[in-house]
Structure 1
Amino acid sequence: MGRVAFFSAVVVSVATVAYASVSSQAYTWQNVKIGGGGGFVPGIIFNPSQKGLAYVRTDIGGAYKLNADDSWTPLLDFANDSHWNYWGVDALATDPVDPTRLYLATGMYTNSWDPNNGQILISKDQGETFTSSPLPFKVGGNMPGRGMGERLAIDPNSNNILFFGARSGNGLWKSTDYGSTWAKVSGLPNVGTYVPDPTDTSGYNNDKIGVSFVTFDSTSGSSGKATPRIFVGVATVGSSNLFVSNDAGSTWSAIQSTNTSWIPHKGVLSPAEKSLYISTSDGAGPYDGTYGGVYKYNITSGTVTNITPVSGGDLYFGFGGLAVDLQKPGTVMVATLNSWWPDADIFRSTDGGNTWTRLWDWVSYPTMDRHYTYDDSLAPWLGPDATTTDLTTQIGWMIESLAIDPFDSNHWLYGTGATIYGSHDLLKWDTTARTITLKSLAAGIEETAVQALLSPPTGPPLVSAMLDLAGFVHNDLKAYPSIEFDISVSSGVTGLDYAGNKPTNLVRVGNADVSTGTAGPQVAISTDSGKTWNIDYGSQGGASGGKVAISADGDTVLWSTSANGVQISQYTNPFSTVSSLAAGAAIASDKKINSVFYASSNGRFYLSTDGGKTFTSTATLGSSSSSNTVIVNPSVTGDVWVSTDKGIFHSTDNGTTFSAISGVAQAWSISLGGPARTGGYPALFAAADIGGVGYFRSDDAGTNWVKINDATHGFGSASANVVAGDPRIYGRVYVGTNGRGIFYGDASGSAPSATATSVSTSASSSSTTKTSSVPITSASSSSSSAAHPSSSPASSSSAPPSSATQSVYGQCGGSGYTGPTVCASGSTCVVQNTYYSQCIPN
């Protein structure tokens, strides 16, 4: 086993790097198809005036529009780093008078996680384009209670008027100019006082949920005049939480006779019945709900009737999703929130709530009579492709959205925590047979929160890791993946890596299955490119999350956990703490030498040559204070890149010295992909700030850059996303987003000509260099482990050869290189590619 000794550090200036203004290259972007949604769908809204027009809103993935073939088109893919909170949609309204108009209330969080106020996005072309109307407060599309609503409503008689129910005690707001400007409505007796957890100090669960829904009574007015009767529900427990105005919002009075221990979630008007249906739950949702009720308010008589479908011991859930059939007055449906066991359920009444039938019934425990056939062909990972009689959850969970097509009583949709279900044969429910089709109908909705991506040199082109769904092996980017990770370990996967010398060997780490409370080992190993996984029982229970690196030969796992520091294990033995690395360190393995690992933390770089047991600091990375990603050239030992809060740094000598890539203000995820030409340096991809935040590619090791995303593909928050270059296809890159799934991009035009000019960056830097007294060696890797060695010595430097001697594994040549070209005794300068030659031991 090799060892490295280090002498004292010396301060040096960062090397001069050529840089020019960034050009753009056209890319074709498509979603990697996962299908089925992948995340929570809190709102589904049909337009009552135009047949076939419907929208869904999601909590972190923006909004979508329904297509004629049951697929969905995303509307907010233009949201970039400056407008990342557009993807949190807390309310949606489609205009019943002018169906071209669409309004979205957007903003991700009301606490400090989102520093920005919310806005109403206004479209006059059904979501093709939007303008923004700023609000003077925050909007919480991914906050508790996000399934309530709709909080945003358009006056059906005078569509220039809109009402919006805000969170955080900000009350009710009104616009009279199609959403362009807003003013607070005075007089609402209660604006919502319920707080899920007053003891929470993060601001996430201790904020007031606020107004839960706004519903106009279209029967109370006439066209061209403001609708006088408006209903409002608020999140309040213990006092009146339902209110009505009969003078267009000037004054309000409470509606009594509902259980004020339960929060109103939905208020849906049945115009023909002159009634308002209300679903309630004892929690804000979407995860909680142990009790609740369903009510019917008769507008004419002013009376409230409790029409809850179940009672007594059968009532162990709240109610969320609620819909009426406008074609069949008296037909109403309501969904459980939440019935986690044995499954969710949905209730249907055709007589105004007097009697109910349900989607499944007990035959005798544990046998269930499911009144549906189950079709998950569009998302096979959702469950079995047949109706079962066991307790396997099929109907879903977190059902806060439910809608019946106002033009087609057979067509219905509902949203869960993972998909959209529905069918086109709903009326079979009312027949003697009662068997309907339950089908995943979320094609086009990609709402996953991607944590890591891997494009290995062999096997599948892509392996993904994500929250909630664990991850997938993508053998065909355009087909729904048939291989989902076994979630016996880590229901949410946060880190992936492959072994450089055995690239079919993969490792993954992640979070425990929150639905079962599992806190066992959270590391798994695959030797067949992710088809099957084995638990690494060396990992301790309780440790989870973070990032992972596996050694070149696949026998050692280095794990930077989310809360248990950095740990190391070889041959699946118990993990031990790596005391020489700080918690949260960015890590990587060398892809050729089994004993070498790299790390970066708090602005410093670290090297291990003993299989990750110990790390030694080798350099500081300029003035950076945090490191985001460490990546390595898979073909060249010691060729390392680090992305930091102060840019990108590159080393060609195992981290002994680094060059700062000029012009990069900040960088998050970086990755290497296929080279532009045979033998060329791998393409470098970055989610970074290079003259502005975006996504970039360099074909010459950071000298020149092209921007590869465009105005219609912003990818949301750059700091939350991951990129992975495809080593087999030049120019292809995968972008994993926090809410819109995975995109893959291919260059569709020629790259702009390189126009870089030398810009001096020789200002004093805190980058340091340390000298190795003993070369890195490995018992399990030969000294020729650098890929594709050539017998031809490098002589392609653009400056006269230096008389200085380069150390073993140091750079000794390449296009634009001006350093030493004579290698230390015992090593030879070997060409690795056009841009890099390395001193390799003889």
Structure 2
Amino acid sequence: MKLTAFLLAASAHAADWTNVRIGGGGGFVPGISFHPTEAGLAYARTDIGGLYRLNGDDSWTPITDSLADSENWNTWGVDAMALDPQDPEKIYAAVGMYTNSWDPNNGRIIRSSDRGETWDATELPFKVGGNMPGRGMGERLAVDPQNSSVLLFGARSGKGLYRSDDGGVTFSAVESFTGVGTYIPNPSDVGGYNGDIQGLAFVTFDSTSDLVGGASGRIFVGTADNETASVYVSEDAGATWAPLEGQPDRYFPHKCKLEPTEKALYITYADGTGPYDGTSGAVWRYDIAGAKWTDITPDIGEDLFYGFGGLALDAKNPGTLMVASLNSWWPDAQIFRSTDSGATWTTAWEWVAYPDMKLRYSTTTPRAPWVNENFVSVDSKKLGWMIEALEIDPLDSDHWLYGTGLTVFGGRDLTGWEAGKVNIESLADGIEEFAVLALASVPGGSELLAAVGDDSGFTFATKGDLDTSPKTAWSNPMFTSSTGVDFAGNSPAKVVRVGNMAGSPQVATSSDGGATWAAVSSAGNVHFGGRVAYSADADTIVWSSGSSGVLRSAAGAAFEAVSAVPSGAPVASDKKENGYFYAGSEALLVSSDGGATWAEGGALAGASKIQDIVAHPVVAGEIYVSTDVGVFRSTDFGATLEALGAGVTNTHRISLGVGSGDSWLLYAFGTGAAGPRLYTTGDLGASWTDVQGDSQGFGAIDANPLVGSANEPGVVYVGTNGRGVFYAQVAVEGLPSNSTEA
């Protein structure tokens, strides 16, 4: 088994990177873990955004940014995490994004002895699925509470159970464990997202059991099975295993927790593996000493149309527990609380007389106003959805947190539940799990326009707004995801964006810099996705859609196909000369009549693929073309092109940003002297500077949106798939001013 190491505390870095504060989380948080003995110490795992550590002010600090470089981009998929009950400094996680062909890399177990400041990693001989179905189950990784050297990890893909006896440095298969799980969500999806064996669901050590060979003797392991045994036990520290007798066999187990004082297991079940499915489920209690199962499912009769995911125990009050609906899409999620070991339950809400509800809680989102503006206040699902993470602080019965598909909710007055006086707040400050799909910075206009997945998009009017969570997301219309955004160079207040969901017009325009929007009805109801370009005078839209090839609309007319431009081609508009657009895949295409007709531009010597095109924000006819051999530049509307310096090759997204005075910098994701990462040049490629550095990862660089600020000298923005938008101040001399005169 290959061992790799990351010693990151002293790593060099080229720029200081920080998150743009969209706030509120923005994505699925399937796991939260509190340390059992260290006050205030907790971690959250995300499916595409890595790990976070809780701070004393209820904010979160990302702790895996440095690991997700271009080669190890899958590190931000976290399928499991584990804390060492005997050492609060230690944290472990199983990382990897997909178990199918989307991810070519095997997974790893990463470990830290300083709360995530530095990491070491052990490569596994198989893949890990942090963003695969069933990622909310768990935890699949556990540290023996009586022997910190022993870890167990439950794998996917039929790989079974793995054990470490040296604190996570090496792992080997537990050959005696043969119940590796058989469930495949869609067996016909061979090699696809739903075509893999789900594998193991959880590992739970019994801290009350006797030692066997220096380790906890009793261990429980759950598997993703719903027709045969799904919970197994070992009484001899893993030497032999057997199914627990009398266990339920109708549902998949999701979460399993030990209540040591009661010597009982609590397990939530659902008829789907999550995080999106499930129409029924159950909650069971297993008395270890008496080997007795008790069905403690809340008695809600015909209203049980969902499974159960999240499970929390109150360590200070044995017998007090909470469970959450995995997915109740209407009218809302439900959270249940019991103070008598599940014999009776109270709910977060109940019907008074339809449609009126009696709520046991109130909701506030001061740290992320858009969460209330665009979701809580307008959606029936105020408590959220996809609730797999649910935890009560083991040292503070009032402090609780739970993860949803949007944010982390929780509060610090939980014991007021029975009196109906609980305030639930969005507490994901610092978690930036957004998948960013496009960026723009407008000269003399909005400093940053960020199109994101699942949460539409956001406008930051000035640099001073970057550290303040917006009051609203892009709305009216609010696209599920905005995939492209652009501005009119001669009318900087005019902006266009495109969305990703058929059934309604997926083009919207703004005349106030992205503060408010209006749908473009002429876009129809069938086109969606892709990139967009807005003409300099805001009278023409060229849309390289994700569904219908390249489309064009002039003067508000219906969108029509542009057959001359290949489907999927990057498109750009000249920012000063209104008639010019640029596109291309293998060759550069230029239109001088608003996209009506196209002709081939200058040659791209040695290049076989165009990967991005950008026009100078304030200079007519100056464009930059990113290709598989590097960047080319034209100053005559694409008629001729000249290759820049060869210090950075195979470039992906590129952008211009203001430098000092009236100079400009060119930024490029590509392969240079420091490997594949972000570089900049102020001398047309004669020299390139690594501005990313060793300590900041951006994930896979071939798809990261990139934009230099058009207003703030030396500021550059990078969009990521799961860690939101980063920005930095870059200290590099700009392009000569005589090359950018209008």
TM-score normalised to structure 1 length: 0.84
Please give the secondary structure, in 2, of the residue aligned with 1:568.
strand
Confirm or deny that 1:659 pairs with 2:647: no
User: Residue 489 of structure 1: CA displacement?
Assistant: 4.4
- State the match for 1:569 in structure 2: 553
Cα displacement string for residues 421-474 of structure 1 (whole angstroms, at most 9, x for unaligned residues):
1011000013xx322010011111111000111111123311110000000111
Alignment of 1:154-169 (within 5 A): 154-169=143-158
Confirm or deny that 1:597 pairs with 2:597: no
Of 615, 626, 648, the match for 1:643: 626
Taking the aligned partners of 1:347 and 1:708, their CA distance within structure 2 comes to 49
Of 420, 434, 446, the match for 1:448: 434
Please give the secondary structure, in 2, of the residue aligned with 1:205.
coil
Alignment of 1:347-366 (within 5 A): 347-366=336-355
- State the match for 2:407 in structure 1: 419
Q: Which residue type is aligned with residue 398 of structure 2?
A: N
Please give the secondary structure, in 2, of the residue aligned with 1:697.
strand
Unaligned residue ranges in structure 1 (runs of 5+): 1-23, 513-517, 755-813, 816-832
Q: Relative to structure 1, is the Cα distance of residues 387 and 732 closer, same or farther in structure 2, using a 3 angstrom cutoff? A: closer
User: Residue 610 of structure 1: CA displacement?
Assistant: 1.6
Confirm or deny that 1:545 pairs with 2:529: yes
User: Residue 370 of structure 1: CA displacement?
Assistant: 1.4
Q: Is the 8 A contact 1:474 1:483 kept in 2?
A: no
Q: Is the 8 A contact 2:477 2:517 kept in 1?
A: no
Higher deviation after alignment, 221-230 or 669-678: 221-230
Alignment of 1:147-546 (within 5 A): 147-222=136-211, 225-384=214-373, 392-430=380-418, 433-475=419-461, 476-486=465-475, 488-512=477-501, 519-546=503-530
User: Residue 130 of structure 1: CA displacement?
Assistant: 0.4
Q: Is the 8 A contact 2:577 2:621 kept in 1?
A: no
User: Residue 634 of structure 1: CA displacement?
Assistant: 2.3
Q: Which residue type is aligned with residue 835 of structure 1?
A: S
Unaligned residue ranges in structure 2 (runs of 5+): 1-11
Q: Which residue type is aligned with residue 530 of structure 1?
A: G
Please give the secondary structure, in 1, of the residue aligned with 2:71.
helix
- State the match for 1:684 in structure 2: 666
Q: Percent identity?
A: 49
Taking the aligned partners of 2:343 and 2:47, their CA distance within structure 1 comes to 34
Alignment of 1:742-757 (within 5 A): 742-747=725-730, 751=732
- State the match for 2:617 in structure 1: 634
- State the match for 1:555 in structure 2: 539
Q: Is the 8 A contact 2:253 2:270 kept in 1?
A: yes
Higher deviation after alignment, 409-418 or 627-636: 627-636
Cα displacement string for residues 168-223 of structure 1 (whole angstroms, at most 9, x for unaligned residues):
00000000000111111123242111111222245211111100000001001259
Please give the secondary structure, in 1, of the residue aligned with 2:446.
coil
Q: Is the 8 A contact 1:25 1:706 kept in 2?
A: no
- State the match for 2:739 in structure 1: 835
Q: Which residue type is aligned with residue 644 of structure 1?
A: T
Please give the secondary structure, in 2, of the residue aligned with 1:90.
strand
- State the match for 2:86 in structure 1: 97
Please give the secondary structure, in 2, of the residue aligned with 1:584.
coil
Q: Relative to structure 1, is the Cα distance of residues 501 and 391 closer, same or farther in structure 2, using a 3 angstrom cutoff? A: closer
Q: Is the 8 A contact 1:160 1:177 kept in 2?
A: yes
Of 721, 724, 728, the match for 2:707: 724
- State the match for 1:758 in structure 2: none
- State the match for 1:6 in structure 2: none
Number of residues paired by the alignment?
Answer: 725
Q: Relative to structure 1, is the Cα distance of residues 626 and 202 closer, same or farther in structure 2, using a 3 angstrom cutoff? A: farther
Confirm or deny that 1:624 pairs with 2:607: yes
Q: Which residue type is aligned with residue 638 of structure 1?
A: G
Taking the aligned partners of 2:589 and 2:190, their CA distance within structure 1 comes to 35
Q: Is the 8 A contact 1:651 1:658 kept in 2?
A: yes
Q: Which residue type is aligned with residue 35 of structure 1?
A: G
User: Residue 387 of structure 1: CA displacement?
Assistant: 8.9
Please give the secondary structure, in 2, of the residue aligned with 1:538.
helix
Higher deviation after alignment, 397-406 or 624-633: 624-633
Q: Is the 8 A contact 1:40 1:59 kept in 2?
A: yes
Please give the secondary structure, in 2, of the residue aligned with 1:174.
strand
Cα displacement string for residues 717-755 of structure 1 (whole angstroms, at most 9, x for unaligned residues):
2112111111111110011111111111013xx548x9x
Taking the aligned partners of 1:391 and 1:736, their CA distance within structure 2 comes to 28
Please give the secondary structure, in 2, of the residue aligned with 1:237.
coil
Q: Is the 8 A contact 1:605 1:619 kept in 2?
A: yes
Taking the aligned partners of 1:548 and 1:571, their CA distance within structure 2 comes to 16
- State the match for 1:783 in structure 2: none
Q: Is the 8 A contact 2:569 2:584 kept in 1?
A: yes
User: Residue 321 of structure 1: CA displacement?
Assistant: 0.6
Q: Is the 8 A contact 2:654 2:667 kept in 1?
A: yes
Q: Is the 8 A contact 1:157 1:224 kept in 2?
A: no
Q: Relative to structure 1, is the Cα distance of residues 391 and 598 closer, same or farther in structure 2, using a 3 angstrom cutoff? A: closer
Q: Which residue type is aligned with residue 738 of structure 2?
A: T
User: Residue 408 of structure 1: CA displacement?
Assistant: 0.4
Q: Is the 8 A contact 1:157 1:223 kept in 2?
A: no
Taking the aligned partners of 1:544 and 1:49, their CA distance within structure 2 comes to 51
RMSD: 1.9
Alignment of 1:732-771 (within 5 A): 732-747=715-730, 751=732
Question: Which protein has the larger Cα radius of gyration, Structure 1 or Structure 2?
Answer: 1
Q: Relative to structure 1, is the Cα distance of residues 104 and 391 closer, same or farther in structure 2, using a 3 angstrom cutoff? A: closer
Q: Which residue type is aligned with residue 200 of structure 1?
A: D
Q: Relative to structure 1, is the Cα distance of residues 59 and 629 closer, same or farther in structure 2, using a 3 angstrom cutoff? A: same
User: Residue 261 of structure 1: CA displacement?
Assistant: 2.6
- State the match for 1:610 in structure 2: 593
Please give the secondary structure, in 2, of the residue aligned with 1:719.
helix
Q: Relative to structure 1, is the Cα distance of residues 221 and 25 closer, same or farther in structure 2, using a 3 angstrom cutoff? A: closer
Cα displacement string for residues 118-171 of structure 1 (whole angstroms, at most 9, x for unaligned residues):
010011111110001110000011111111100000001111000000000000
Q: Is the 8 A contact 2:614 2:624 kept in 1?
A: yes
Alignment of 1:62-77 (within 5 A): 62-77=50-65
